[in-house]
């Protein structure tokens, strides 16, 4: 059984006007991929964003927007990616695709829509973050919590290696 595809975008600042610095997404088998994003020159015209970026100390290998989008599109199995909240992550994804010179090829939807009871989903998501000691600001941790919440509420499991 394939799991829904989850995505999370981490930005330099938690504001809509900010820009993405990390993207994480899940694969149908439950594995998670993550990429640090090299800021596009057009994103660096705000002094506060540049200072915040310097504070993050991104010394790890970062990839261009085009490379990140290409990898995401390569892995795309579904037409919908689920995330914890559309706002402001949708804007950050639009900036990433624009910097890559691509049109967004997926629909974004809130993961809570996968559960009949939105409040139950919200509580389960917060519990997953807390129980696993995950950081809700990190893209990879958000995707891990989204996967765990989905499995907890639906009973669906990831495919074992070799299963079809």
Specify the CATH class of 7-154 in words: alpha beta
Look up the pTM and report it: 0.86
Q: What is the pLDDT along the chain (164 residues), one digit of tens a residue?
A: 578 999 999 998 888 889 999 999 999 889 999 999 998 888 876 555 555 555 555 555 789 999 999 999 999 888 899 999 999 999 999 999 999 999 998 899 999 999 999 999 999 999 999 999 999 999 999 999 999 999 999 887 655 544 44
Residue 80 pairs with which residues in a beta bridge? 107
- Can you give the residue ranges of every domain in the chain? 7-154
Residue 161: predicted pLDDT: 47
Q: Which two tokens stand for residue 102?
A: 């691509």
Q: How far apart are CA 22 and CA 136, in angstroms?
A: 13
Q: How far apart are CA 142 and CA 68, in angstroms?
A: 18
Strand, coil or helix: 81: strand
What Å distances lie between residue 142 and 27, 47, 51, 103, 113, CA to CA?
14, 28, 25, 24, 16
């Amino acid at each position: 059984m394939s799991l829904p595809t989850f995505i999370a975008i981490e930005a330099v600042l938690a504001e809509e006007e900010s820009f993405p610095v990390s993207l994480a997404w899940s694969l149908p088998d439950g594995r998670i991929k993550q990429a640090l994003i090299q800021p596009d020159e057009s994103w660096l015209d705000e002094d506060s964003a540049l200072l915040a970026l310097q504070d993050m100390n991104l010394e790890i290998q970062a990839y261009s927007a085009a490379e990140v989008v290409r990898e995401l599109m390569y892995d795309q199995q579904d037409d919908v990616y689920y995330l914890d909240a559309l706002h402001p992550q949708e804007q950050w994804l639009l900036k990433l695709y624009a910097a890559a010179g691509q049109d967004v090829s997926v629909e974004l939807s809130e993961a809570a829509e996968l559960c009949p009871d939105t409040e139950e989903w919200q509580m389960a998501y917060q519990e997953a973050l807390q129980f696993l000691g995950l950081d809700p600001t990190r893209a990879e941790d958000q995707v891990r919590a989204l996967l765990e919440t989905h499995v907890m509420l639906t009973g669906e499991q990831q495919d074992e290696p070799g299963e079809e």
